């Protein structure tokens, strides 16, 4: 029997479960209604007190719909979060919390995290099992939407190449998510930070031109602004990951000084910065990590630029010129890998795409090091969270069953009170010679009709509740939550209707037994 059950398709198993749940109702209906036709009178009873019956049906629908909505929303949340992480095979970060880094790197939730240095990133890229190793840099925003620095190949991977317009080709260009409210060709100015703490004037004079829009991904990246990672590093005064061009070696350019200062101070400055990220709250992004360092030396740095290159004064005009001309200089700068480890400022996470899913596990093992890096599979972390939620779901299911039992008892009590409205009608039918089975069938049919109507409406109300909850969750998290009713919801409604309809025999039998000719008297 087990083999036969296992051989059935899933929809076949669900249909059999539904039939088993409704079997008691079918047996009662056949036993009571065989050879009888109580439906015209039962429908008349429904119409006779329409408003009272409507309120009773509405109460049933609300009680059923709340349970249906929660069950459907929980399943939709699992499906939506899993789909949002489907493009992230492996994430490599500095050691820390896998859940925190999952939320930061995959779901773009701001967090204070340490950085991966240049040599480590170069080691990841050099692994022959790696097809794509995309650094990400976050910390800026545009009207509440995160600005994320990355490489063009990652944008192609994230969207499967479905982009309206084109990919960014210079440091002054951006590709926006499907839900970002800007048009192609618009210019946007990034703010430093997120939310109420964002500083709209920190990068004054610097802007991006929107050259592409991603197709919907159903993830928080639909509300992200994707830009070259070099531009995020550069706008914060860091090296851009590339050694200065040969023709710039003796030209005294600002980029050369920025890169050499970074390379010479890498050990001293970065060692302190990594600790500061944890203690002082500047680890949210690579640019946050270096913010204090540059702020501390800002005056001397500006003076050095003025003395050595002759285009900065005490009022910081060189800094303004850097922003004003950043977009003009960008086309001459290289974008994307390979990066020079000596000029690599650091990245909070590297999104790794292996050549095969089997290699992802090997790479996870290779880059999980106690003192160096942490590699994790987002799907595995989500499975752990789902297991935790599963325990909570079991507790909620038990509470839901208790609540449904109380609702069923309340429904039966209300049904008894409602049936007393028809006591005189039942007594009249008995006086006219109606058999007891007919009276029980009539009262039971009336009660079952209200219960079925309430269950069906509750199913629809549950879907509407799930849709509203999904919209709220999607607005807060950026994760598209699918809305739909599945077999679990249908089984829940069928079980509720079957249980209450079966118990409705008791008040029906009690009412018919308690009426007699005396009940016809006014």
According to the model, what pLDDT value does residue 303 have? 39
pLDDT confidence tier of residue 391, bands split at 50, 70 and 90: low
Is the pLDDT at 483 greater than 50? The verdict is yes
Residue 138, CB-side half-sphere exposure with 13 Å CA sphere: 30
Mean pLDDT, rounded, for 435-447: 85
Task: Yes or no: say if 235 and 326 are a contact pair by the CB < 8 Å rule.
Answer: yes
Per-residue pLDDT, averaged over 411-417, amounts to: 76
For the chain, the domains span 17-84+392-520, 90-376
Please say if the pLDDT value at position 164 is more than 90: yes
Tell me what the mean pLDDT of segment 177-205 comes to.
86
The beta-strand segments (E) located in 5-104 are 90-93
Residues above pLDDT 90, as percent of the chain: 31
> Does residue 174 contact residue 225 with C-beta atoms inside 8 Å?
yes
> What does residue 162 show for φ and ψ, rounded to 5 degrees?
-90, 95
In this prediction, residues 195-213 reach a mean pLDDT of 85
The DSSP 8-state label assigned to residue 108 in this structure reads -
pTM of the model: 0.69
Task: Read off the tokens for 11.
Answer: 């929809």
- Locus of tokens 């976050």: 138
* pLDDT tens column, 77-117: 888 999 999 999 999 999 988 999 999 999 998 888 889 99
- Tell me the pLDDT band of 275, cut-offs 50, 70 and 90: very low
Task: Give me the pLDDT at residue 307, please.
Answer: 42
pLDDT for res 508: 77
Whether the CB-CB separation of 519 and 423 falls below 8 Å is answered with yes
Per-residue pLDDT tens for 29-88? 888 888 888 888 888 888 887 888 888 888 888 888 888 888 888 888 888 999 999 999
Q: What is the pLDDT of residue 319?
A: 41
Residues 21-33, mean pLDDT to the nearest whole number: 89
Looking at the DSSP assignment, which residues form a beta bridge with residue 132? 353
Q: By C-alpha distance, which of 460, 461, 449 is closest to 418?
A: 449
Reported as a pLDDT band with limits 50, 70 and 90, residue 513 is low
Per-residue burial over 351-370, b = 16 or more CB atoms within 10 Å of its CB, e = otherwise: bbbbeeeebbeebbebbeee
Q: How far apart are CA 387 and CA 518, in angstroms?
A: 62
Average pLDDT of the chain to the nearest whole number: 78
Q: Helix 39-48 vs helix 436-477: angle between axes, to the nearest 10 degrees? A: 60
Type and span of the H or E element at 375:
strand 374-376
Question: What does the angle CA 182 – CA 329 – CA 300 come to, to the nearest 5 degrees?
Answer: 105
pLDDT per residue over 488-506, tens digit each?
888 888 888 888 888 888 8
> Which stretch, 261-270, 275-284, 492-501, has highest mean pLDDT?
492-501
Residue 289: predicted pLDDT = 35
Of the pLDDT bands very low, low, confident and very high (cuts 50, 70, 90), residue 274 is very low
Alpha carbon 359 to chain centroid distance?
Answer: 27
pLDDT at position 25 over 50: yes
Q: What is the mean pLDDT of residues 148-175?
A: 93
For 64, 232, 282, 283, 290, the CA distances from 293, given in Å and listed in that order, are 59, 17, 11, 13, 5
């Amino acid at each position: 029997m087990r083999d036969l059950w296992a051989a059935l398709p899933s929809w076949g198993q669900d249909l059999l479960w539904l039939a088993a749940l409704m079997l008691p109702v079918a047996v009662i209906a056949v036993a009571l209604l065989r050879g009888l036709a109580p439906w015209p009178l039962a429908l008349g009873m429904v119409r006779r007190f329409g408003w009272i019956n409507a309120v009773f049906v509405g109460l049933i629908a609300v009680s059923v719909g709340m349970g249906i909505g929660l069950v459907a929303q929980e399943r939709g949340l699992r499906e939506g979060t899993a789909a949002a992480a489907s493009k992230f095979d492996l994430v490599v970060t500095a050691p820390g919390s896998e859940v925190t880094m999952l939320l930061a790197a995959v779901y773009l939730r701001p967090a204070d995290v340490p950085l991966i240095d240049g040599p480590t990133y170069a080691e990841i890229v050099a692994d022959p099992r790696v097809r794509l190793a995309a650094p990400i840099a976050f910390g800026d925003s545009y009207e509440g939407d995160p600005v994320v620095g990355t490489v063009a190949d990652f944008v192609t991977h994230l969207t499967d190449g479905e982009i309206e317009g084109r990919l960014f080709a210079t440091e002054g260009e951006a590709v926006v998510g499907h839900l970002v409210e800007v048009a192609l060709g618009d210019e946007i100015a990034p703010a430093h930070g997120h939310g109420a703490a964002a500083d709209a004037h920190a990068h004054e004079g610097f802007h991006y031109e929107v050259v592409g829009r991603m197709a919907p991904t159903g993830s928080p990246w639909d509300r992200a602004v994707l830009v070259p990672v070099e531009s995020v590093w550069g706008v914060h005064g860091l090296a851009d990951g590339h050694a200065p061009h040969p023709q710039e070696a003796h030209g005294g350019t600002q980029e050369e000084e920025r890169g050499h200062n970074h390379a010479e101070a890498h050990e001293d400055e970065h060692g302190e910065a990594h600790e500061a990220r944890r203690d002082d709250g500047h680890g949210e992004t690579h640019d946050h990590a270096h913010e204090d360092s540059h702020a501390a030396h800002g005056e001397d740095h500006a003076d050095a630029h003025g003395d050595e290159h002759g285009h900065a004064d005490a009022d910081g005009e060189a800094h303004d010129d850097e922003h004003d001309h950043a977009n003009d200089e960008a086309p001459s700068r290289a974008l994307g890998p390979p990066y020079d480890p000596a000029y690599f400022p650091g990245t909070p996470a590297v999104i790794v795409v292996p050549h095969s899913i089997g290699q992802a596990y090997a790479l996870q093992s290779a880059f999980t090091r106690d003192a160096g890096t942490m590699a994790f599979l987002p799907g595995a972390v989500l499975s752990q969270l789902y297991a935790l939620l599963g325990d909570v779901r079991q507790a909620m299911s038990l509470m839901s069953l208790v609540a449904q039992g109380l609702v069923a008892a309340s429904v039966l009590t209300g049904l008894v009170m409602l049936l007393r409205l028809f006591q005189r009608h039942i007594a009249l039918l008995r006086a006219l010679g109606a058999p007891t089975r007919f009276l029980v069938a009539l009262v039971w049919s009336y009660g079952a009709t209200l219960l079925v109507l309430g269950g069906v409406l509750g199913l629809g109300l549950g879907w509407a509740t799930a849709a509203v909850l999904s919209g709220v969750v999607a607005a807060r998290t950026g994760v598209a939550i699918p809305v739909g009713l599945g077999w679990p919801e249908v089984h829940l409604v069928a079980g509720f209707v079957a249980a209450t309809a079966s118990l409705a025999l008791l008040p029906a039998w009690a009412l018919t037994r308690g009426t007699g000719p005396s009940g016809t008297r006014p």
